[in-house]
Structure 1
Amino acid sequence: MDDGSTIETPPVAPLSQAELDQLTDQLIEKLKTVYDPEIPVDIYELGLIYKVDISDEKDVAVEMTLTAPGCPVAGEMPGWVQDAIMEIPGIRSATVELVFDPPWDPSRMSDEAKLQLNMF
């Protein structure tokens, strides 16, 4: 019999700092497996990742950009990033949004990326 009451799910415990640190390390490791096909440097070192949010439910939301809005893999790269993130055990979901504000420029690259591309 339906008495009109709703079933509430118990709140999810917040991620501990240790869990968050471990997930962050795993995310960086996975993001470093995705490359812009035109540049021999991963998207993390290129500075294409602008923001990563991890919810207590282990939903991951990423804001990223491309080296240029007309990048030939613009339609595919978010899927590559999402697939890489979903390889992490325990991640419930991953969404990847392309943003172009602020525009990417070479100053966002890590020293490692600049070294790989002989930009020093």
Structure 2
Amino acid sequence: MTQLSSGDWWSYERDDNVGVWTIHDWEALFDEGLQDAEKHYSETANQDEITATIIEFGHVDSLGAEMQDHMTDAWSQLAQTVELERTAYVADGITALAVKSNVEAPNTELETFESLDSALEWAKE
């Protein structure tokens, strides 16, 4: 994978038809840079050659109620406005499952993983 762009708390790489966003510090991103990261996701994931996305969470202590509410509203809207076949959430423990449970994307298959390699394999199927 080749890193194509990044923000203060996130980076973006691409592997064939899969866009991979790594969030290095979720709390800092949520507090200070989420709009830029979401704009980048919207613009990039909407490209014709992207059929799947992966969002990998690096450092996450917990997803508070405000964060989960934001995912339910903004991330569900993002997922429904880009045309993707699959989206994977990668994180340790139950974080990825918590994200998945807050995102509504009826036309996109959502899945959770604890490793990026497993998520990439699934996204490319």
Computing the radius of gyration from Cα coordinates, the structure with the larger value is 1
Higher-helix-fraction structure: 2
Q: Which gives a bigger RCO, structure 1 or 2 (Cα 8 Å, sep 6+)?
A: 1
- TM-score, length of structure 1 as denominator length: 0.31
- TM-score, length of structure 2 as denominator length: 0.30
